Structure 1
Amino acid sequence: KKVEEQNFLIRKRVLEYDDVMNQQREIVYEYRDRILEGDDMSGTAREQLGNVVDRIAKDYLEDDFPENWDLHGLYNQLEQMYPIGIDLEELDIESVNRETLIHDLREDIVEAYGDREEELGSELMRALERFILLQIVDERWREHLQNMDYLREGIHLRGFAQIDPLVAYKNDGFEMFTELMNSIWEEFARFIYVVEVETEDHNGAGPTQPAWGSSSNTSSTAAFSYAGGTAADQPSALAAARAGGVPEEIQGAADYAYDEVEAPAHVETRVVDDKERVGRNDPCWCGSGKKFKKCHGA
């Protein structure tokens, strides 16, 4: 009975650790499902972009005293992200309120997002949102899983400091997950305004299809391409992948591998001598009358 109780407590503890990751997984996969199903992410994007600016601004505007603000650093940071419409270096800091300035910056980045949509068109903008988000979410989520595994491996050492390892795992996991979600939208903000979009007419016939490549930013998501119809024809990133957005060299390698699998196997045939067919308990082929195992098979 004591052994069963001990095993039950062990299983319960494992489930409590796994539940932390399950809760995070539900949130991330809700994002992925919305993207793959072709949901309109513009409302979420506008809200999150405002939050991105809010976090950055609070890092440079630490308190309510303007003399302690780093407006130059804040301007440089935002300028690298989007075409900022507020000249922070010419502000009269004596008459500027911190909360008002942050509010104006939030509205400015959302307005720049609207300008970007007018430049590309709503259909292409929706497809671009889904493509960039899907790339970033997948990559950052894989990194997060590795970090959480690393955290779990050593979390038991917190017990030496009289800290419940499970509580520490939940707290640290929550902070890491918050950083994950923030990093997703910060990277999204750095790409959505600067990514170059080109339309090409393939083979000189048919409708033009959107294809975009990266800007000069250096990141794992900086090099990507997309091929497919309009967002109305392909309302999801999954549909875009199925529509033939596969590079020729990859498709050629896949076809070659498929041919190898489908090729009929060569079957070698050979003539078996009568001596090889004799069983060990059968009469020997020499005619001695003995069993094969007692004669030539010995």
Structure 2
Amino acid sequence: MSDTLTAYITAATADGYAEDWDLETLFTALKTIYPISFTLEELEARAGSREGLDADFINAAVLEDCQAAYAKREEALGTDVMRELERKVLLSVLDRKWREHLYEMDYLQEGIGLRAMAQRDPLVEYQKEGFDLFSAMMDAIKEEIAGFVFNIEVTVESSNNQVVAPGLEAKQLPQTGLQYTAADESGVRTTGEVSRNAPCPCGSGKKFKRCHGVSA
């Protein structure tokens, strides 16, 4: 969870100075992961001004706030329910992401021979791009797990104390157009429509149906 938040902050603050950073977009992204309890203006006030902000200051504030939100979530659900929710989320996200990764690797293998036409070693290119896909999968797993744990609706069946989280049937929890919400009792729902032949919103350059639309 902390890895995902830190990655968001690092990406948003990598270049330039605080007055150049798009912190509004950063805060919008953070809110999709967990219910952040302070505004950008409040954070600036703590630092004295926007110019007084730096990456470490923002990161420390966000991680402390996230830990408090996690403790509040666990208190509301109960320790046993929280552990069961985390288990269900982990298994669901791992299963879906691994299947998507295998599909992407098959798709990569189908087209890797074209690299030879560009005088590049297909094996080297396959290994490199395969590693990039695996790294992206691991980042996506961390992000989705964090988002589900905080945002998904949970009920406990009184008959057998079974933890039910229907929102785990959702397809995708990205930071792009296919965002998730926790707006009603049905749990997490996807929003935004993307044509299967349109470029994937993740920026990979692939068609949506060949990328994050695999499981749609």
**TM-score, structure 2 normalization:** 0.70
What is the CA-CA distance between 1:218 and the residue it aligns to? 8.5
On the 8 A contact 2:93/2:145 being kept in 1, the answer is yes
On the 8 A contact 1:197/1:210 being kept in 2, the answer is no
Name which of 37, 48, 68 aligns with 2:20.
68
Partner of 2:194: none
Partner of 1:9: none
Cα distance in 2, alignment partners of residues 111 and 171 from structure 1: 39
Name which of 89, 99, 103 aligns with 1:146.
103
Q: Which amino acid aligns with 2:171?
A: S
Name which of 125, 149, 170 aligns with 1:219.
170
Q: Which amino acid aligns with 1:57?
A: I
1:163 corresponds to 2:120: yes
Partner of 1:175: 132
Partner-residue secondary structure (3-state), 1:94: helix
Moved over 6 A (4+): 221-224
Cα distance in 1, alignment partners of residues 169 and 126 from structure 2: 33
What is the CA-CA distance between 1:57 and the residue it aligns to? 1.7
On the 8 A contact 2:81/2:163 being kept in 1, the answer is no
Name which of 52, 59, 80 aligns with 1:102.
59
Partner of 1:283: none
Partner-residue secondary structure (3-state), 1:85: coil
**Greater Cα shift, 122-131 or 62-71:** 62-71
Cα distance in 2, alignment partners of residues 126 and 51 from structure 1: 20
On the 8 A contact 1:51/1:106 being kept in 2, the answer is no
Q: Which amino acid aligns with 2:10?
A: K
- After superposition, give the CA deviation of every residue in 1:163-189 in whole Å (9 maximum; x if it has no partner): 211111111011100110111111112
Partner of 1:86: 38
Cα distance in 2, alignment partners of residues 89 and 149 from structure 1: 47
- After superposition, give the CA deviation of every residue in 1:5-30 in whole Å (9 maximum; x if it has no partner): xxxxxxxxxxxxxxxxxxxxxxxxxx
- Kindly tell me the number of residue pairs found equivalent between the two proteins: 170
What is the CA-CA distance between 1:116 and the residue it aligns to? 1.6
Partner-residue secondary structure (3-state), 2:36: coil
Name which of 86, 102, 114 aligns with 1:129.
86
On the 8 A contact 2:90/2:145 being kept in 1, the answer is yes
**TM-score, structure 1 normalization:** 0.52
1:57 corresponds to 2:14: no
